[in-house]
């Protein structure tokens, strides 16, 4: 019997495999991955430098342990180069391998800025354990880090690098950190808190070019100024990996388009995690992929199931200024009602009938999260 094939050994691929194995312990399962097939929690990548953690310490299980646990074959360092939906097969190393059903859990690629200059290739991004190893090696013996992007990942790295003793510059064309997730009051408090600890913010400018300058790098910013750094980290966002699906004629939009059973437009092919667009949204967080994996496991086991999302708060890993945010769904009608209290900022996104659609809590008010989640679920 042809196996169920999963492409990807990130949280999406492994969570699906675990959930499915609870329902179907025996059907052959084969996981292909460009990585080395270890299990790790990707969110750890942006708060591990200060603690001096190596990639080996972040990986909690080897590929062999995962294969045993999942009763699966895992092919590490193996890139799938084609999908043939008409023949129910994938292309790998010049061969074709048949699947009974295929799950795309391919994740997302860091967006690369079109930077000029002879140092552009030295700009790093961190999206897997190998990138993290490379980043740590680049930091060895260095002091100054420039972070491109003041969103969630940029702010988390900035806080972690500060705590690790580095000096940090953050460059962002917007006007404040985490501008897409937080109302202005909460953003500005985060800016202030990280600023007090040493982050130098550069808002309203873009990095245009990176040049080598001795052993260091020099950034040329869009306002004509320059900035010296030893290491440049790009954290400007991620884009779903859709090329393989697109080449196979599978419908894509911003991600690989799936229905509420996680089915793509091709028979017996499914998609989950950062590469998937479900309910019109690509949600690049852990909680959505857990919901998707649980739903798809049931679908694959022949049980009726439909994707639905509970409230999904995100804890932002900036210990200098703790934040928990549950952004309102895109297109929600309403506005932020913001209170700045001695315990922190409490921001509620309310509609005209005062129903709650999202929230942002900072410092001690983060303890109100569970209560607000209940209110969201009632709304």
Ligand X SMILES: Cc1cc2nc3c(=O)[nH]c(=O)nc-3n(C[C@H](O)[C@H](O)[C@H](O)COP(=O)(O)OP(=O)(O)OC[C@H]3O[C@@H](n4cnc5c(N)ncnc54)[C@H](O)[C@@H]3O)c2cc1C
> Site residues (CB under 6 A) for ligand X?
7-13, 32-35, 42-43, 45-46, 79-80, 105-107, 126-127, 153, 241, 244, 273-274, 284-287, 289, 314, 317
DSSP type of residue 116? B
CB of 83 to ligand X, least distance (A): 9
Taking the CA atoms of residue 117, residue 119, residue 120 and residue 121 in that order, the dihedral angle to the nearest 10 degrees is 140
Minimal distance, residue 336 CB to ligand X, in Å: 22
Least distance to ligand X from the beta carbon of 207, Å?
19
Q: How far is the CB of 55 from ligand X (least distance, A)?
A: 13
Q: Which residue, 124 or 126, is less far from ligand X as judged by CB?
A: 126
For the bound state, the minimum distance from the C-beta of residue 213 to ligand X, rounded and expressed in Å, comes to 27
SS3 state at 378: helix
Tell me whether residue 23 or residue 243 sits nearer to ligand X (CB atom).
243
CB of 297 closer than 8 Å to CB of 22: yes
Output the six-digit token pair for 343: 């315990």
Residues 134-172: b if buried by 16+ CB within 10 A, e if exposed: ebbebbeeeebbbbbbbbbbbbbbbbbbbebebebbbbb
Residues 38-76 as b or e (16 or more Cβ within 10 Å = b)? bbbebbbbbbbbeeeeebeebbeebbeebbeebebebbb
Q: Are 195 and 158 within 8 A, CB to CB?
A: no
- CB-count burial class (<10 Å; 0-12, 13-18, 19+) for 314: middle
Between 90 and 350, name the residue whose CB sits nearer to ligand X: 90
Q: Which is nearer to ligand X, 202 or 241 (CB)?
A: 241
Which is nearer to ligand X, 58 or 299 (by Cβ)?
Answer: 58
Q: Please, which residue, 7 or 350, has the CB nearer to ligand X? A: 7
Which residue's CB is nearer to ligand X, number 93 or number 303?
93
Least distance CB 185 / ligand X (angstroms) = 22
- The answer to whether residues 222 and 205 touch, using CB atoms and an 8 Å cutoff, is yes
Asked if 292 and 307 touch (Cβ cutoff 8 Å), the reply is yes
Instruction: In angstroms, give the least distance from the CB of 224 to ligand X.
Output: 31
């Amino acid at each position: 019997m042809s196996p169920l094939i999963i492409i990807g050994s990130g949280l999406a691929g492994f969570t699906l495999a675990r959930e499915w194995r609870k329902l179907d312990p025996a059907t052959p399962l084969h996981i292909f991955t460009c990585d080395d097939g270890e299990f790790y929690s990707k969110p750890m990548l942006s708060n591990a430098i200060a603690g001096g953690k190596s990639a080996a310490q972040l990986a909690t299980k080897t590929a062999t342990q995962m294969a045993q646990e999942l009763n699966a074959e895992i092919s590490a360092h193996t890139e799938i180069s084609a999908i043939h939906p008409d023949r129910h097969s994938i292309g790998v190393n010049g061969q074709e391998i048949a699947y009974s059903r295929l799950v795309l859990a391919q994740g997302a690629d860091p967006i690369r800025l079109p930077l000029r200059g002879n140092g552009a290739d030295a700009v790093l991004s961190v999206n897997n354990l190998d990138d993290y190893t490379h980043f740590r090696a680049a930091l060895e013996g260095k002091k100054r880090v420039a972070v491109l992007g003041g969103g969630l990942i940029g702010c988390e790295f900035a806080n972690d690098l500060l705590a690790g003793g580095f000096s940090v510059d953050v460059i962002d064309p917007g006007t404040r950190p985490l501008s897409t997730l937080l109302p202005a009051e909460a953003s500005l408090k985060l800016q202030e808190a990280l600023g007090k600890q040493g982050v130098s913010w550069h808002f309203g400018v873009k990095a245009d070019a990176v040049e080598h300058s001795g052993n260091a790098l020099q950034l040329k910013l869009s306002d004509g100024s320059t900035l010296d750094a030893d290491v440049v980290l790009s954290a400007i966002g991620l884009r779903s990996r859709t090329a393989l699906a697109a080449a196979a004629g599978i419908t894509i939009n911003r991600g690989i388009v799936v229905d509420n059973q996680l089915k793509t437009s091709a028979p017996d092919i499914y998609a989950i995690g950062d590469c998937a667009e479900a309910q019109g949204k690509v949600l690049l967080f852990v909680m959505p992929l857990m919901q998707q994996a649980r739903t798809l496991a049931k679908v694959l086991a022949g049980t009726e199931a439909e994707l639905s999302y509970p409230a999904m708060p995100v804890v932002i890993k900036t210990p200098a200024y703790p934040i928990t945010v549950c952004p309102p769904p895109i297109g929600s009608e309403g506005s932020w009602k913001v209170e700045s209290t001695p315990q922190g900022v409490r921001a509620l996104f309310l509609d005209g009938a005062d129903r709650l659609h999202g929230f942002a809590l900072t410092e001690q008010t983060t303890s109100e999260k569970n209560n607000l989640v209940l209110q969201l679920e009632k709304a």
